[in-house]
Amino acid sequence: MRRAAPFIAIFVIQVLCAFFFVSDILSSMIGFQSAPISWEMRELLEIFAAFGLILGVGLGGWMLLGALRGRTRAEERLRRASGAFADLLQERFTEWGLTPSEKDVALFAIKGLSTAEIAAMRSTSEGTVKAQTNAIYRKAGVTGRSQLLSLFIEDLMRDDGAIRPMPVAQTQATVSAK
């Protein structure tokens, strides 16, 4: 709330300044007579009102730039998270020893496609896709699609920011293959 206080104050000043100019114009159009004030005081009020409006425009531009920078940072974080998720998928698929076909089916399953949709996209039968999903679940040590997805969500949401390490046997096999 402390950070918002200056913005709220500038907004209130802008509203008062706009009210001053609009009421001045409307009173002239309607013919509303008010107690006369000296021209020096009137000029001073107009200068302050104009300054308030200019200050609001400057602050609005500054806030817009900040919002655009924040959006750019958020998009970059999302891009990194998307890349991290793709890397995590590939790591786990390799860890589980999935075949290329099983990797495709697993990816489509994680994306939420039905068995029929996966079969249509891969030009295979639904029975083949079911057999492949069962092999994926067995290799991953889960009983269904929701548990498969939860493995990845748990890895991404770890408090320490680290991704679950691959088993030692798999790590050694990867190193020796290089």
What total number of domains does the chain contain?
2
Q: How far apart are CA 140 and CA 92, in angstroms?
A: 8
Give the pLDDT band of residue 154 (cuts 50, 70, 90): confident
Tell me the H-state helices in 31-99: 39-96
Task: Based on the fold, state whether residues 64 and 102 are members of the same structural domain.
Answer: no
Task: Based on the fold, state whether residues 106 and 56 are members of the same structural domain.
Answer: no
In a domain, 79, yes or no: no
The identity of residue 130, as a single letter, is K
- Range with top average pLDDT, 40-44, 122-126, 174-178: 122-126
Q: What CATH number did the domain enclosing 140 receive?
A: 1.10.10.10
Indicate if the pLDDT at residue 51 is higher than 70. Answer: yes
Q: How far apart are CA 130 and CA 99, in angstroms?
A: 15
First to last CA, the chain: 55
Q: How far apart are CA 44 and CA 61, in angstroms?
A: 26
Q: Which domain holds residue 58?
A: 5-73
* Residue 121 CB-half CA count within 13 A: 13
In a domain, 154, yes or no: yes
Indicate if the pLDDT at residue 176 is higher than 90. Answer: no
Q: How far apart are CA 102 and CA 129, in angstroms?
A: 9
Q: How far apart are CA 65 and CA 71, in angstroms?
A: 10
pLDDT tens figures, 65-97? 988 999 999 888 887 777 778 888 888 899 999
Task: Based on the fold, state whether residues 112 and 157 are members of the same structural domain.
Answer: yes
Best CA proximity match to 86, nearest among 106, 71, 102: 106
Task: Based on the fold, state whether residues 165 and 107 are members of the same structural domain.
Answer: yes
Task: Based on the fold, state whether residues 102 and 69 are members of the same structural domain.
Answer: no
In a domain, 162, yes or no: yes
In a domain, 92, yes or no: no
pLDDT tens figures, 97-148? 999 999 999 999 988 999 999 999 999 999 999 999 999 999 999 999 989 9
